[in-house]
Structures are given as C-alpha cells and as structure tokens.
Amino acid sequence: MKNSIIFAGVRAASCSKVSKIIEIPELDGYKLPVTIINGYDDGMKFLVTASIHGFEYPGIESAAELCRELEPEDMSGAMIIIPVINSSGFYGRLPYICGDDEERKNLNKLAPGNKNGTFGERLIAYLYDEFVSKVDFHLDLHSGDATEDLCNFAAAGNAPDEETRKFIHKVINHTGFEYYTQSSGRTEFYNGSVIYKGVPSMMFEVGGAGKWTRKEVVEEKENIKRIARYFGILPGQAELNVNQKWLKTQSWIECGHEGFFYAFVKAGEEIRKDQKLYEIRNVYGELLEEHYAMHDGKVMIINSTLGVSEGDDAVFYGKAE
Ligand SMILES: [Zn+2]
C-alpha cells in the first residue's frame, strides 16, 4: 500500500515487512507472532491464520514459511500472517483445544468471541477486532488434527448473502484443490469472519492424523499464493482450476457411542451407497453401531483413532455435483 498500515498497534510502512511478537495487554501479555507484509502499491489486504487447532501442522508450517519468504517489493496490497494463534495447543501438543483457556475450549467453536468470556473467547474477540475486521479476505488453515485421516479440500465461509458466496467460490476456483465444500457452520473462526464481520472467508483442510509432509507444505503455500495472485497482491497470472469439484451433498457423521472405532474405508476413497464405512464396538468386542453410506461419494475425513467418545467426528463424505 502507498501508506503505512497498522494491525494490533504494529505499523508497517509502505513496501516493508514487519515480524513481531505482540504481547496482548487484554490477555495478560499473551504472545502472538504476527508478520505484516505491506506492498509498494495499493491493493487488497489478505489475512492468513493458522493454529486455531495446534495439532494441524501443514498450515502452520506453510504460514510460518510464507512469513519468511514473501517480500513487499513484489506486492500490491498487503498480507498479514499469524502462524501460531494457539501456542499452548501447538507447543503443548494438544489436539483441538486451547490449553490457556480455563475450560480448555476449542477456539473453532467460539465465534464471535466475548470480551468478558474465558481466555479463548477473549482471544477470538481480539483477533476479530484487531485483524479480521481490518482486512478484505480471511483464510484460516486447518488439517485433520491428530485424530483424522483427510483428503485435502477447501471450504467456503458461510456468507449470509449470495453475492459474497459466489465471490468466495470464485476465489476457491482459483486454487489447486480438487474438491471444495460450502460450510453451513456458525461457530468456526473463519465462518465468524464473514457472518459477524462481513469479511469474505474460507479455510483449507490439508493433511491430518498429526503429521505433515514437505509436499503438503509446498502445495499449500502455492495455493495461498494462487489466491494472492487472483487478488492482484502477488504478480503473475491468476489460474482458474477447471477440474475442481464442489461436494454439494455432504454427510457429516458423529460417533453415537464411546468405544473402539474400526474404519472400513480410507480418506480419498470413492464409495457407493450402502457401503459399510465404520463400526464401533465395546471393550468386549460387542457391536455398538455401524454406519452404511447414505449416498455415493468420496470419503473426505475418517477418524483414525482406536478409542472414541460419543459425539466425536466419525466420517465426512461428500458427493460432487
Ligand atoms: Zn482444525
């Protein structure tokens, strides 16, 4: 941007990059690493966040590497990157939850946050006020956490109006993902951005089961750059993905029992209606429940842990239209 920009009190002059660990007074000095890359010319402001879930590594590594690799001389507009939002979850190796939260809440269930709430609720409210509400687009990076095998996909934020929905889909259509979905959620951090702040938003789901690979990070960084090129922030031609499929029919199935989980399919597998996807047995081997596919489609997420509790995510499969 031709002028300096300020996020959370950190100023980045025109054509400069500032990396800083912010200490948030409202959160007892909680430390948040932020990189602001302010380009030489005016343009869109693009926020990339990771580690809402601290066990979701490909996005966290991708965001951290982009903080080091992107340079303002190449950019019109700005990118603001927060690679580790949930430091207790990431460094403390905690699936899903925020260890700093008094009630160990899941930060992805707290939109729009609450300034008088628990630590996690206050952190989310802070992020909306200081970052999300000041940008033109928000991308949140996720994975299958420690507990899920996953086939990579992008998800559009749950925009209340048709025009914003179409815009987000168009952004996704310029990524390399083979599959994408339309979220209907309301509590997720990225969904809250468009629902409560009117900022178009989406997420990536890349990798899972507590792992990350160099290939995933290389592809994920390229997909973030493809969006930045589509916005005109980075130089180069935006590339439309003509082979992308929208999984319009979605089935998200939760475990109905505590028990031992046995999957009969893998993430990425094509399935037929009535095909058996998983079963749950008790410690004595007695069958508690089993699930048969309600429609044809593709397994996008399947639980990878042996032990499960009632209400845990079991499987997500979708059908392209
Ligand atoms: Zn996640």
pLDDT of 321 over the 90 cut:
no
Gap between the Cα atoms of 271 and 265, Å rounded:
8
For the segment 164-178, the average pLDDT, to the nearest whole number, is 98
What is the 153 CA–ligand 1 centroid distance (Å)? Answer: 12
| Cα dihedral sign, 274-276-277-279 | positive
| Cα dihedral sign, 125-54-216-248 | negative
Amino acid identity, position 89: G
The CATH number linked to 193 is 3.40.630.10
The answer to whether residue 26 sits within a structural domain is yes
Gap between the Cα atoms of 45 and 82, Å rounded:
14
What is the 54 CA–ligand 1 centroid distance (Å)? Answer: 8
Instruction: Give percent above pLDDT 90 in the chain.
Output: 99
Q: What pLDDT, on the 0 to 100 scale, is given for residue 273? A: 97
Domain endpoint, select from 172, 203, 230: 230
Q: What pLDDT, on the 0 to 100 scale, is given for residue 29? A: 96
What is the 50 CA–ligand 1 centroid distance (Å)? Answer: 9
What is the 2 CA–ligand 1 centroid distance (Å)? Answer: 35
Tell me the per-residue pLDDT of 189-200, one tens digit each, with 9 for 90 and over: 999 999 999 999
Query: What global pTM score does this model have?
Result: 0.97
The answer to whether residue 241 sits within a structural domain is no
277 shares a domain with 219: no
Tell me the per-residue pLDDT of 209-225, one tens digit each, with 9 for 90 and over: 999 999 999 999 999 99
Give the pLDDT band of residue 305 (cuts 50, 70, 90): very high
The answer to whether residue 237 sits within a structural domain is no
Helices 189-196, 119-130: axis angle to 10 degrees equals 50
Quote the tokens at residue 186: 């309301």
The answer to whether residue 243 sits within a structural domain is no
The answer to whether residue 235 sits within a structural domain is no
20 shares a domain with 100: yes
| Cα dihedral sign, 101-103-107-112 | negative
User: Which among 237, 241, 169 has a CA at the least distance from the CA of 200?
Assistant: 169
Name the residue range of residue 83's domain: 5-230
For the segment 5-23, the average pLDDT, to the nearest whole number, is 98
For the segment 22-26, the average pLDDT, to the nearest whole number, is 94
Give the pLDDT band of residue 167 (cuts 50, 70, 90): very high
167 shares a domain with 48: yes
What is the 53 CA–ligand 1 centroid distance (Å)? Answer: 5
For the segment 155-177, the average pLDDT, to the nearest whole number, is 98
Amino acid identity, position 186: R
296 shares a domain with 222: no
Q: What pLDDT, on the 0 to 100 scale, is given for residue 69? A: 98
User: Which among 57, 52, 123, 49 has a CA at the least distance from the CA of 80?
Assistant: 49
